[in-house]
Structure 1
Amino acid sequence: MKKILIDCDPGIDDALAITLAHGSSEVEIVGVTTVGGNVSLPKTTANALALREFLGFPEVPVVAGSPGALLRRWIDASAVHGDSGLGEARLPAATLPPANGHAADFIIDTLAAHPGEISLVAVGPLTNVALAVRKEPRVTEWAREFVILGGSFTRGNYSPAAEFNIAADPEAAAIVFSAGWTVTMIGLDVSRTALATGAVVDQMREMGRLGTDLLVPCVEFYGMVTADEGPAIHDACAVAYLIDPTLIQVEPAVVEVETMGRFTSGMTVVNFHLGERTPNALVGTSIDSGRFWELVLAAYARVAATIG
């Protein structure tokens, strides 16, 4: 079983990604670290703690990290995720506190204790990961693999050029992409095609408390659901790749992050034409959405069975 450490900013799609990871028989969550992003750090941390208890993995550490970007003012996406960050979901407040320390140190210590064994997946702004890499560059050697949900080679969603997770802290993203490891970038080009349509949501409705208290209120708040369309469940795509890499086609590329552009700050500049250059990334280009939803819904069904 693959061990994973999730750095996140819950967030509707973060919650759906965490649920997928917990429900999968192929991965084991060894830690959850939080960052300010979709909503403020106190809220992302509270949401991670509530999810941990509601879904049923209270032994897994949750560690809070950076409240905002390295060099910029904090931006949020509460207009998309709701004031709480979890749309209309109303989970019981957590009874257990977060672990002591900072997320960056937890990332370093966890990977150092198990070099080559733990996959790091980041589905929020990359501030915590950048701090970890700066403090201990060997993190890039200790991680089994590093997967992000972020970026795009075609378009943005925060701006015409930039995807939210990268736009929230471009300097951190630039540090992470230039750190000497291979970043598997699952971006909007893949995730925006993973749509929760009416048929998907109907299956979620049949999943007891998990469906009625978390999945459906999140998805329906996230966007309009119709027979053929629905909101894109971005972050779950990165976790799905860790579970089954054959779901997503990836191509080697050189990725650089724009930090200075007036209109392009946060843009991931993706060059698939390598020439003599060594790629620093594997970039997702397409996803088998049918198999993706089979995997996701099967994992959700396993969680639903455990919480009643």
Structure 2
Amino acid sequence: MKRVIIDCDPSADDALALMLAAASAELSLEAVTAVSGVCEVVQSARNALNILELCGRSDVSVAAGASQPLKRRLEFDGKYCGCDGLSETGLVPASSCLSRLPAVELIHRKLEEHPGEIYIISISPMTNLAELLMKYPESRGQIAGIYTINGSYGVAPDKSSWNPRPSWNVRTDPEAAKYVIESGIPVTALGLDVTMRLENAMAERLMAEGNKNGWAFQFLERAVAFNLKRGLEPYSLLVDAMAVAAAVRPEIAEYIHGKAAVSDQDGLMCGQTLFGAKGYADQWNSDVRAAYCFDFDIYIDLFLERVFS
């Protein structure tokens, strides 16, 4: 069983990731931390709390973290995720409370309790994790590894994905992503190389085969309706949970092992993830497995068996 902490900015795709993690016996969910991303950070944390209570996991501590990126300004408009950050799905507020500890302190405490055993699942801007490493440098050696959907690595067989481009989370706080990805902590990345191969048919299969009486299905139904109303693709709801699935089922993806660097310079290159398996990349202090292949049939089966059954 893997001990994991999920660092997120709960919109509807983060919510599905939390649902899958909570339903997976392969994972011991030690804590959930929230960062500003699609909405203000306390709202993000409360969104996570609401989801976990509906999953029957009120025992999991949830902490609010960074309210803004390390050096940049983030504005919230609700266009892509609604005024609540959760696609206006109308969840009942949780009866439990947020942790009194800030996110960095909660993660640090858990790492001190279980050094070398905890994996971080990062599905948001990496501000919390960068602040953790800055305040507690020893955390580098205490984190077992990081699973993330952040970045684009140019390793996908599909030629349209050969040219890496910034992912939203990295572009939102490139300084934080640079600090974390280049820290030397082992990173398993499900970047745009594979997440861009999601299809609406996968969401449609969940809608067709899922248990329509379950609260999780009704959440998905409302989130899909929100996306369609805003001109957004339903498949985007399935991005973040890919990092959870990779932690649950190691065989679900195939990887190239190499090193990565992140551009934090303003301009067109801001937030771009550079990846190399040899040569010039040898100078980078990073350790990254970048996915180039992902089994979406196993992925959707996991949701149908565990979340929408």
* 2:303 match: 296
Aligned partner (choices 279, 288, 294) of residue 281 of structure 1: 288
Contact 1:7 1:35 in 2 (8 A): yes
Which TM-score applies when normalising by structure 1? 0.89
* 1:183 match: 187
The size of the alignment, in residue pairs, is 295
* 2:177 match: 173
Gaps of at least 5 residues in structure 1 are: none
**Segment drifting more, 100-109 vs 270-279:** 270-279
Secondary structure (helix, strand or coil) at the match of 2:307 reads helix
Secondary structure (helix, strand or coil) at the match of 2:79 reads helix
**Are residues 20 and 178 of structure 1, via their aligned partners in 2, closer, same or farther at CA, if it must alter by over 3 Å?**
same
Contact 1:251 1:284 in 2 (8 A): yes
Aligned partner (choices 208, 212, 217) of residue 214 of structure 2: 208
In the TM superposition, residue 276 of structure 1 has moved relative to its aligned partner by 7.4
In the TM superposition, residue 153 of structure 1 has moved relative to its aligned partner by 2.4
**Are residues 67 and 276 of structure 1, via their aligned partners in 2, closer, same or farther at CA, if it must alter by over 3 Å?**
closer
**Segment drifting more, 36-45 vs 275-284:** 275-284
* 2:129 match: 129
Q: Deviations over 1:50-99 (max 9, x none)?
A: 11212111111001000110000014473222221111411101222101
Rounded to whole Å, the distance in 2 between the matches of 1:152 and 1:221 is: 27
Which TM-score applies when normalising by structure 2? 0.88
Gaps of at least 5 residues in structure 2 are: none
In the TM superposition, residue 247 of structure 1 has moved relative to its aligned partner by 0.5
* 1:112 match: 112
| Matched residue type, 1:298 | E
Superposition pairs for residues 38-77 of structure 1, below 5 Å? 38-76=38-76
Secondary structure (helix, strand or coil) at the match of 1:44 reads helix
Secondary structure (helix, strand or coil) at the match of 2:244 reads helix
In the TM superposition, residue 107 of structure 1 has moved relative to its aligned partner by 1.1
Secondary structure (helix, strand or coil) at the match of 2:235 reads coil
Rounded to whole Å, the distance in 1 between the matches of 2:221 and 2:29 is: 23
In the TM superposition, residue 250 of structure 1 has moved relative to its aligned partner by 1.3
Rounded to whole Å, the distance in 1 between the matches of 2:181 and 2:297 is: 30
Structure 1 vs Structure 2: percent identity of aligned residues?
29
**Segment drifting more, 78-87 vs 188-197:** 188-197
Aligned partner (choices 166, 171, 179) of residue 162 of structure 1: 166
Q: Deviations over 1:138-176 (max 9, x none)?
A: 2121122211121112499xxx93111101100001110
Contact 2:77 2:83 in 1 (8 A): no
- After TM superposition, the runs of 4+ consecutive aligned structure 1 residues lying more than 6 A away are none
Q: Deviations over 1:159-205 (max 9, x none)?
A: x9311110110000111012121211211111222333322222235
Q: Deviations over 1:103-151 (max 9, x none)?
A: 1111111112101222111110000000101111221211222111211
* 2:252 match: 247
